[in-house]
Amino acid sequence: MRIFSLLAHPRPNSFCHALSERARQALSMAGHAISHHDLYAEGFDPCLSAEEAYSIGDTLEVALSRADDPVLQGHRTEIGQADGLLIVHPNWWGKPPAILAGWLDRVLVPGVAYRLASADGMPEGLLSIRQALVLNTSDTLAEREARDLGDPLELIWGRCVLPYCGVQAYRRHIFRPVVGSSDAQRLSWLAETESLCGAAFSSG
């Protein structure tokens, strides 16, 4: 399986980095081909330009022709060819980091990720991704989040972005609270990450 991997955390020593590395190791050992992008390390520009905002092509070729940035072209091409997706990011204010939100704006455009094919505005998902796994870190206790906030990241990934783009199966897991967690707890979470990857991409 060709798995497109995204990491969005500015600190190279973050637990998100450790989770992403362990996940990619497990997936590589299982025989998957990994295309990995650390958005902060790459200096990905999250700002959607006025020209890109009018990207309404029906095909990947048209969408690529509208992207002058070779980095952006590469991301659009790779996500269009992937059949698996791994995303690792922290929960900041109930949303992904701005760099990842900008990646969504610039990469998952019409012709790459979806096509508006009917008058009722319902999209036709274009991605060939069969399975996606999203791993989040959080410093908020589950009980408090459920009581005060719900789960806004689930709305973003599980009910909006991934279904809209045609992703067939989706899993998401939250590791928390990361702040104050012990070395033993983090080692346990890393081992759990291997199991999550095996379960999410078992049929690839």
For residue 144, give both structure tokens.
Answer: 């408090």
For residue 107, give both structure tokens.
Answer: 């990469």
Residue 192 has pLDDT above 90, yes or no: yes
d(CA 85, CA 173) in angstroms, rounded, equals: 14
Q: Check: CB of residue 177 under 8 Å from CB of residue 140.
A: yes
Phi/psi at 195 (nearest 5 deg)? -65, -40
Residue 48 has pLDDT above 50, yes or no: yes
Residue 56 has pLDDT above 80, yes or no: no
For residue 49, give both structure tokens.
Answer: 């330009």
Number of H helices, E strands in the chain: 9, 7
Strand, helix or coil for residue 190: helix
Q: Check: CB of residue 22 under 8 Å from CB of residue 194.
A: yes
Q: Give the pLDDT band of residue 119 (cuts 50, 70, 90).
A: low
Q: Domain range for residue 43? A: 2-200
Average pLDDT over residues 62-88: 87
Cβ atoms within 10 Å, residue 13: 7
Average pLDDT over residues 145-151: 66
> Which DSSP state fits 158?
I
> How many domains does the chain contain in total?
1
Give the position of tokens 């497990």: 26
Strand, helix or coil for residue 192: helix
Q: Give the pLDDT band of residue 204 (cuts 50, 70, 90).
A: very low
Give the position of tokens 């939100």: 101
**Which amino acid is located at 10 in the chain?**
P
Share of the chain above pLDDT 70, in %: 87
d(CA 76, CA 202) in angstroms, rounded, equals: 25
Q: Check: CB of residue 46 under 8 Å from CB of residue 99.
A: yes
Among residues 33, 36, 25, the alpha carbon closest in space to that of 1 is found at 33
- Residue 33 backbone zone (phi > 0: left; psi -120 to 50: alpha; other: beta): beta
> Which DSSP state fits 95?
B
* pTM higher than 0.85: yes
> Which CATH number goes with the domain that contains 130?
3.40.50.360
